[in-house]
Amino acid sequence: MAAKEELYAKVTPRRQRQNRPSTIKHGSTLDVLLSMGFPKTRALKALVSTGGKNVQAACDWLFSHLDDPFLDDTLPREYVLYLRPSGPLLQQLNSFWKQSRLSCGKNKAHNIFPHITLCQFFMCADEKVEALSDALQNTVAKWKGRIGMPLPLELYTSSTFIGLFVDEQIAEMLKTFASDFATEAASKADVHVEPHKKQLHVTLAYHFQASHLPALEKLAKNVDVSSGCDWLAVLLSRDIRFANHETLQVMYPYVPQNDDELELLPGDFIFMSPVEQSTASEGWVYGTSLGTGLSGLLPENYVSRADESDTWVVHGSHSFLNCASPSTSGTTVLRPGCQPSMSKMRLFVCRHGERMDVVFGKHWVTQCFDSKGRYIRSNLNMPVSLPARSNGHKDYEKDCPITVFGSTQARLVGEALLESHTNIDFVYCSPSLRCIQTAQHILQGLQQEGKTKIRVEPGLFEWTKWVSGTCLPAWIPPAELTAANLSVDTTYRPHFSISKLAVSESYDTYISRSFQVTREILTECKTLGNTVLIVAHASSLEACTRQIQGLTPQNSKDFVQVVRKIPYLGFCACEELGETGVWQLVDPPILPLTHGPNHSFNWREMLMQD
């Protein structure tokens, strides 16, 4: 009890708030949780811990924390405001992070993603978090366009520190921005924010061995600080109880053998404090699970070191450049147990949208093209127009487009990714038109159309055994796709050429091809970006992710059963476990998309009856 009171004393807000009304703006999300019977304090804690926008995520959090001894604790979370780079500069900094880690090992800078600190950590009650997020959004809106990009940065090195310092004049402007946020936060959320008063900088390395200085300095000099960049004002929070703990990530499942042991689920994070290790024997550690809040002993070789920021929650991320900031719509979260690190790699694999030949039958081509080869749509779910094909419209029989609803499905997925603050660095696509169109509409929903080019990769085509006839489809070449206003990268050189694809390939050949191409794609992108999206076929969700997890392929019969259950825009996510090269499936950052079939409606036949 004394330790708990001491903890509360440490984090008591500097200003008393009893006379100020609370501000709760979670609206219907909170109302739904309350209507389900959850106490208000628990509902608010779940919303803040999972981002506040998703009832399902909040419910999952509550159910997984039923035995958490701190579930009814009103201790607030700790918040901080950072500037995070994006674009080419972020890619260069991530490359520096990875190269320095490989050559010199981890140093203190690796615990947090590249950033500029704008304020000290501060406390905010759960019922005030929405207002705090609004305060940041309002402040950024006032400052848009006032700070030139990219920020002028200058490299500085010493025997124990390497960093990029912000030009003094611009730094003063950023400090004024932080001061304005502090004023807004005090007014809207009644919290005390202390703006950062020291020199503003991006830390590249510190607390490293003296012998590593030459190598780190050489890598730092390769960072082009003039690279294009938009800086994002990001509001983050962490559980203050674990602020001084080491963060570990679970790599393998573990079922407790004794009452004092902790169950482990892959992807969960464990907080470990050195002062709590007296009860642990050799090869074991004592820690607390982020996913459940429970504490206990666990085998040390079942976890690996993670970065401190892997467990932080995002409550707003606002661009200084773009008026349509991808994160001005409230609060989001990197959910416990499946949270992508802000610097580790993620792979998304998505099936294409609803296809024309499935909806309108395999003879749709003969019905929609006249004798002169002109396309005529006969249903609102058919596209208004189709790309021209150099070999004629007959090629559509094996390479069909998606329907209007298929386009809508894809945009919904893109909009959901945008809402979850997910940025796609690279898009790879099967050469099938339906896949390329799906990728295009996902990018539209993400507001990245034209910014992110689609890389057409023949190696991502589905199992060729499923192609009818004796030849493969005649796909539209990248140059013609570009002419049809599809954002295709015409400079991309595929890992697997079309000439290598064989008709009626064996199951083993298809699985091997998918694994090989996926692995080469991830290697290609590793130092250049964090998130890769593959848009391909239903079979791709299994074929592109199973073996990178270190699992052996299923037999063909079980594989087919899995594929049959994957709907249009079926979506899965994989995440690399640290620098281990081992991947695992995690919860996607978006909700699933459910839809049902409907039959063709002819009003004349249905309604004009004698």
- d(CA 585, CA 32) in angstroms, rounded, equals 29
State in Å, rounded, how far the first CA of the chain is from the last one.
Answer: 83
Look-up: residue for tokens 């366009």?
Answer: 145
Identify whether the C-beta of residue 285 lies closer than 8 Å to the C-beta of residue 271: no
Does 434 show up as a binding residue in the annotation?
yes
Helix H or strand E encompassing 319: strand 313-319
Instruction: Give the other-Cβ count within 10 Å of 464's Cβ.
Output: 17
- d(CA 32, CA 402) in angstroms, rounded, equals 36
Look-up: residue for tokens 């049959």?
Answer: 564
- Active-site positions? 351-352, 537
**Contacting residues for 445 by C-beta, under 8 A, at least 6 apart:** 410, 411, 412, 413, 414, 415, 416, 417, 418
* CB under 8 A, 24+ apart: contacts of 506-511: 506/465, 507/463, 507/465, 507/556, 507/559, 508/553, 510/462, 510/463, 510/464, 510/465, 510/539, 510/543, 511/543, 511/547, 511/553, 511/559
Exposure b/e, 527-545, CB count within 10 A at least 16 = b: eebbbbbbbbbbbbbbbbb
- d(CA 132, CA 186) in angstroms, rounded, equals 9
- d(CA 153, CA 203) in angstroms, rounded, equals 12
Identify whether the C-beta of residue 130 lies closer than 8 Å to the C-beta of residue 567: no
- d(CA 451, CA 472) in angstroms, rounded, equals 31
Look-up: residue for tokens 């004349």?
Answer: 604
- d(CA 600, CA 227) in angstroms, rounded, equals 53
DSSP for 320-337, written as a single string: SS-SS-TT-SS-----TT
Binding residues for substrate, as ranges, are: 434
